[in-house]
């Protein structure tokens, strides 16, 4: 069947999703990202590339990840059946590794001999350090000095995996500054360095290629729900920082208009405060980190600090495809606060014996809000994007528990 | 129309020397201090002034200009302040070309037309937007040209022959050759590579070619001045402002004068 008005054919060849996306980079990087674009097109057409990607996802990452019927959570909520896509069972404990496998294969294909990446809480940094170790390539991870101080276990993991962790002292010393510094390093080392961006942001073709590597989530979920229920789900829910796990789940379902899709933004201490990370609900379109998208910014276009209890959602922008899906109304984006996410974090631990990442807990909180109002014969898939072991110190602190 | 940029390059050429292009971040250390620094640049002999618009995320800049951006924003510098600084400069220096340099987001925040018109009204002659390559320049560039402001483009060592026409498409004022594949203020390119690059660029455009990134000493400036139409110096001046703060004007003037006289003598030494 040919779908005339498919929502799955974005971006255009210049990397635009409607008015969003694009390639807003300094001239030094332009030839390089044009080169990356060409190489990616070629890799996509190459069966050997896909075969190696699939092999590593299966044998190294441990895919497919299960689609698990959360029976006790479903009973508790008293509405639609809730399935959890168990991305937290992947090697390194989150969806991040899917993308890293794809990008390191691309790096090797392009003959690059050095890997760099940015990281916030350290999850993408750990995933990148992991694949760099797997392929024997030197790796430098840029991490805001503030994040280095508060995420010591992940800093140590990265070092164990052989990566150099460079603490970024510029700006606010968090994720966006780590990304600025990674871009600066890339500009200065374009000849041998590949930049593994961790989410569906940055200049084209990154939002597209990261999405493509992450759609394994949605493709599996589609097959798995058909096997389990004999039909497609009624709703998908996933947390959105930059939005790579969410777009990975959503994309294969975008052309099924009867399926409701919900992305969950971090509302931090509330949208009526200055401390949140909801760039769609509380931001406006602008240009940052190579693409045009919704940003948290002031009236002069200065970027403002994001806040979320979940470090993975603590970013003042959002992937351009999400900005577009928001504008055309295909995906509904809902805010969830720190407090709501904390409650859902604990509930899943007790009801299902699963410690979710705080990012994923945001999606669970949205599910708890929506699912009770749905009929019992409806089906909802929630993306459990990562495991919460990394978050136990943050959660203990928020609950006033001393470890 | 009175094209101050063209006039400045033409005057320098008629004096058989390169033009001196100097950069300083607006609002550093406070908006009130910038006027004196700009005046010092002119008094020191600068032909073209680049006024940096501070941004929270200056991705293409090295540590010196990053810190200047943070100092300026920390002092509460706004877009209105930058435009006010430009306007004051224009009133004091009717003939010296003034270029705003910065990043896309503060420039397009209120719309490209708004920015182009406000800059024009403030007496700005050119705009360098670091992170809008020609491929994405379907709004800001046209708005600037419509307002009579030159969109100034950057070429880099990675800009190959195939790509140069795209960079030059819609370019005005002068072509800024970023001589190092890297960020501002750190290292300088080898003289030989600069000469080859300038020759290549000049074969592709009639615009004056100015060379910058990592130029610090009068000797370096003179070497570039022998082959290029302009020499751009930024981080070294910004570092003087960092060191002397509100009292930077005197040392900035002395430093710029040392660059200016080295550049003025450069081609004469070559001929001698």
In-domain check, residue A5: no
For chain A, give the percent of residues with pLDDT over 90.
91
Determine the average pLDDT of the residues in A337-351.
98
Most A CBs within 10 A among B57, B64, B111, hence the mutation to make, goes to B57
What pLDDT is attached to residue A173? 87
| Band (A149; pLDDT cuts 50, 70, 90) | confident
Does pLDDT of A10 surpass 90? Answer: yes
What pLDDT is attached to residue B1? 58
| Cα-based distances in Å from B185 to A298, B63, B156, B180, B255 | 28, 8, 15, 10, 16
Q: B22 φ, ψ to 5°?
A: -120, 145
Query: B58: which chain A residues are within 8 Å (Cβ-Cβ)?
Result: 180
* Nearest residue to B182 via CA among B53, B102, B57, B62: B62
In-domain check, residue A250: yes
Distance of CA B218 to the CA centre of its chain: 17
What pLDDT is attached to residue A150? 79
Distance from CA of B46 to the nearest CA of A (A): 26
A206-214 vs A30-44: helix axis angle to the nearest 10? 30
Determine the average pLDDT of the residues in B137-165.
95
Domain that holds residue A381: 62-93+215-399
For chain B, give the percent of residues with pLDDT over 70.
97
What pLDDT is attached to residue A314? 87
Determine the average pLDDT of the residues in B223-241.
96
The encoded tokens of residue B25 equal: 């971040």
What pLDDT is attached to residue A170? 86
Q: Are residues A245 and A367 in the same domain?
A: yes
Beta strands in A2-69 (DSSP E): 16-17, 20-24, 67-69
C-alpha B150/C-alpha B172 separation (Å) is 5
Where helices occur in A78-142 by DSSP H, the ranges are: 96-109, 123-135
Coil vs helix vs strand at A165: strand
Distance from CA of B62 to the nearest CA of A (A): 8
C-alpha A300/C-alpha B26 separation (Å) is 14
Torsion A356-A360-A366-A370 (CA) sign: negative
Determine the average pLDDT of the residues in B45-50.
98
C-alpha B242/C-alpha B264 separation (Å) is 27
| Mean of per-residue pLDDT scores for chain A | 96
What pLDDT digit, counting tens, does each position of B88-124 carry?
Answer: 999 999 999 999 999 999 999 999 999 999 999 999 9
Query: Structural domain boundaries of chain B?
Result: 4-149+230-271
Q: Are residues A45 and A79 in the same domain?
A: no
What pLDDT is attached to residue A184? 92
Q: Are residues A178 and A114 in the same domain?
A: yes
What pLDDT is attached to residue B140? 97
Does pLDDT of B44 surpass 80? Answer: yes
Q: Are residues A224 and A348 in the same domain?
A: yes
Cβ-in-10-Å burial (0-12, 13-18, 19+) of B192 comes to exposed
Write the residue in B66, B153, B155 that is nearest to A170 by C-beta.
B66
In-domain check, residue A102: yes
User: What is the bridge-based pairing of β-strands A20-24 and A290-295?
Assistant: antiparallel
* Nearest residue to A319 via CA among A354, A347, A348, A292: A292
Q: Are residues A189 and A297 in the same domain?
A: no
Of A147, A178, A205, at which residue does a domain stop? A205
C-alpha B178/C-alpha A98 separation (Å) is 37
- DSSP single-letter state for residue A356: B
Number of residues written out for chain A: 403
C-alpha A244/C-alpha A212 separation (Å) is 10
C-alpha A26/C-alpha A183 separation (Å) is 10
Question: Which of A68-82, A172-186, A200-214, B178-192 bottoms out in mean pLDDT, i.e. has the lowest?
Answer: B178-192
Most A CBs within 10 A among B63, B102, B136, hence the mutation to make, goes to B136
Instruction: Say if residues A68 and A364 touch (Cβ distance below 8 Å).
Output: no
Determine the average pLDDT of the residues in A61-73.
98
Question: Which of A199-203, A395-399, B177-181 bottoms out in mean pLDDT, i.e. has the lowest?
Answer: B177-181
* Nearest residue to A144 via CA among A155, A136, A135: A155
Q: Are residues A145 and A170 in the same domain?
A: yes
Determine the average pLDDT of the residues in B190-199.
89
- ipTM of this complex: 0.95
Does pLDDT of B193 surpass 90? Answer: no
For chain A, give the percent of residues with pLDDT over 70.
99
In this structure, what is the dihedral angle of CA atoms A220, A224, A227, A228, given to the nearest 10 degrees?
-170
What pLDDT is attached to residue A312? 85
Q: Which domain CATH number covers A157?
A: 3.40.50.1100
In-domain check, residue A2: no
C-alpha A137/C-alpha A288 separation (Å) is 29
Q: Report CB contact under 8 Å: B66, A171.
A: yes
Does pLDDT of B270 surpass 70? Answer: no
Distance from CA of A181 to the nearest CA of B (A): 7
Close Cβ partners of A133 (under 8 Å, ≥ 6 residues apart): A139, A161, A162, A163
Better pLDDT: A4 or A68 = A68
What DSSP line would sit under chain B, residue for residue?
---HHHHHHHHHHHTTSPEEEEEEETTSS-GGGHHHHHHHHHHHT-SEEEEEPP-S--TT--HHHHHHHHHHHHTT--HHHHHHHHHHHHHH-SSS-EEEEE-HHHHHTT-HHHHHHHHHHTT--EEEETT--GGG-SSHHHHHHHHT-EEPPEE-TT--TTTHHHHHTT--S-EEEE-SSS-TTS----HHHHHHHHHHHHHH-SS-EEEESS--SHHHHHHHHTTSSEEEE-HHHHHHHHHHGGG-HHHHHHHHHHHHHHHHHHHHHHH-
| Mean of per-residue pLDDT scores for chain B | 95
Question: Which of A222-226, A254-258, B59-63, B138-142 bottoms out in mean pLDDT, i.e. has the lowest?
Answer: B59-63
Close Cβ partners of A38 (under 8 Å, ≥ 6 residues apart): none
Does pLDDT of A190 surpass 90? Answer: no
What pLDDT is attached to residue A354? 98
Does pLDDT of A4 surpass 80? Answer: no
Q: Are residues A172 and A111 in the same domain?
A: yes
Q: Are residues A28 and A170 in the same domain?
A: yes
Clarify whether B50 is annotated catalytic. yes
What pLDDT is attached to residue A403? 87
What pLDDT is attached to residue B42? 98
What pLDDT is attached to residue B52? 98
| Band (B271; pLDDT cuts 50, 70, 90) | low
In-domain check, residue A137: yes
Close Cβ partners of A388 (under 8 Å, ≥ 6 residues apart): A88, A345, A349, A355, A356, A357, A358, A360, A361, A395
CATH, domain B4-149+230-271, list 2.120.10.30, 3.20.20.70, 3.40.50.1100, 3.90.1570.10 = 3.20.20.70
What pLDDT digit, counting tens, does each position of A237-284 carry?
Answer: 999 999 999 999 999 999 999 999 999 999 999 999 999 999 999 999
The C-alpha angle with vertex A22 and arms to A184 and A322, in degrees rounded to 5, equals 105
User: In chain A, whose CA is at the least distance from the CA of B61?
Assistant: A184
C-alpha A349/C-alpha A362 separation (Å) is 14
Of A148, A174, A205, at which residue does a domain stop? A205
The encoded tokens of residue A382 equal: 């929630």
Domain count, chain A: 2
| Cα-based distances in Å from B173 to B3, B148, B205 | 9, 11, 11
In-domain check, residue A49: yes
Contacting B with CB below 8 Å, chain A residues are 14, 22-32, 34, 170-171, 176-177, 180, 183-184, 187-188, 190-191, 286-290, 295, 297, 299-303
Does pLDDT of A295 surpass 70? Answer: yes
Does pLDDT of A402 surpass 80? Answer: yes
What pLDDT is attached to residue B2? 81
């Amino acid at each position: 069947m040919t779908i005339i008005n498919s929502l799955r054919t974005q971006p255009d060849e210049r990397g635009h999703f409607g008015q969003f996306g694009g390639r807003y980079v300094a001239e030094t990087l332009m030839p390089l990202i044009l080169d990356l674009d060409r190489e990616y097109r070629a890799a996509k057409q190459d069966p050997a590339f896909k075969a190696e990607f699939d092999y590593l996802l299966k044998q190294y990452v441990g895919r497919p990840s299960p689609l698990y019927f959360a029976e006790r959570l479903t009973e508790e909520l008293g509405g639609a059946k809730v399935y959890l896509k168990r991305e937290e069972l992947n090697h390194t404990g989150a969806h991040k590794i899917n993308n890293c496998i794809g990008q390191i294969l691309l790096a090797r294909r392009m003959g690059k001999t050095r890997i760099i990446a940015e990281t916030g809480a350290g999850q993408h940094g750990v995933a990148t350090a992991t694949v760099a170790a797997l392929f024997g390539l030197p790796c430098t991870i840029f991490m805001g000095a503030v994040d280095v101080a508060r995420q010591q276990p992940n800093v140590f993991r990265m070092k164990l995996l052989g990566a150099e962790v460079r603490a970024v002292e510029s700006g606010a010393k968090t994720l966006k500054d780590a990304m600025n510094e990674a871009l600066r390093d890339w500009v200065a080392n374009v000849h041998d360095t590949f930049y593994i961006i961790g989410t569906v942001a940055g200049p084209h073709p990154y939002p597209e290629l990261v999405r493509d590597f992450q759609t394994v989530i949605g493709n599996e979920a589609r097959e798995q729900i058909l096997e389990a229920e004999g039909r497609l789900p009624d709703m998908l829910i996933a947390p959105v920082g930059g939005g790579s796990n969410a777009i990975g789940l959503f994309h294969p379902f975008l052309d099924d208009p009867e399926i409701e899709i919900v992305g969950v933004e971090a509302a931090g201490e509330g949208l009526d405060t200055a401390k949140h990370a909801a760039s769609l609900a509380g931001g406006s379109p602008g240009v940052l980190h190579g693409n045009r998208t919704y940003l948290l910014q002031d009236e002069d276009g200065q970027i403002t600090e994001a806040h979320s209890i979940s470090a993975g959602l603590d970013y003042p922008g959002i992937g351009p495809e999400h900005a577009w899906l928001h504008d055309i109304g295909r995906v509904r984006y809902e805010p969830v606060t720190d407090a709501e996410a904390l409650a859902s974090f604990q509930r899943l631990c007790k009801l299902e014996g699963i410690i979710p990442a705080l990012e994923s807990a945001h999606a669970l909180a949205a599910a708890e809000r929506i699912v009770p109002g749905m009929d019992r014969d409806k089906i909802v898939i929630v993306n459990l994007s990562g495991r919460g072991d990394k978050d136990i110190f943050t959660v203990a602190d928020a609950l006033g528990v001393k470890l | 129309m009175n094209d101050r940029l063209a006039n400045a390059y033409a005057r320098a050429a008629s004096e058989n020397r390169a033009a001196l292009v100097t950069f300083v971040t607006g609002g550093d250390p406070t908006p009130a201090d910038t006027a004196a620094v700009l005046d010092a640049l002119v008094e020191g002999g600068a032909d073209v002034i680049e006024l940096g618009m501070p941004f929270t995320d200056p991705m293409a800049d090295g540590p010196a200009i990053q810190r200047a951006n943070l100092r300026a924003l920390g002092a509460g510098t706004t877009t209105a302040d930058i435009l006010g600084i430009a306007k004051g400069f224009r009133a004091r220096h009717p003939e010296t070309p003034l270029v705003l340099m910065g990043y896309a987001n503060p420039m397009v925040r209120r719309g490209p037309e708004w920015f182009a018109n406000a800059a024009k009204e403030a007496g700005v002659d050119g705009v360098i937007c670091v992170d809008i390559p020609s491929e994405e320049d379907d709004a800001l560039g046209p708005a600037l040209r419509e307002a009579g402001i030159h969109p100034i483009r950057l070429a880099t060592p990675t800009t190959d022959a195939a790509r140069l026409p795209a960079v030059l498409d819609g370019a005005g004022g002068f072509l800024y050759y970023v001589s190092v594949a890297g960020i501002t203020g750190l290292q300088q390119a080898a003289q030989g590579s600069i000469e080859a690059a300038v020759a290549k660029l000049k074969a592709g455009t009639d615009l004056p070619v100015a060379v910058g990134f990592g130029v610090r000493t009068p000797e370096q400036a003179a070497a570039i001045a022998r082959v290029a139409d302009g020499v751009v110096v930024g981080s070294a001046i910004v570092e003087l402002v960092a060191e002397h703060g509100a009292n930077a004007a005197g040392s900035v003037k002395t430093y710029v004068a040392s660059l200016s006289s080295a550049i003025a003598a450069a081609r004469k030494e070559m001929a001698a």
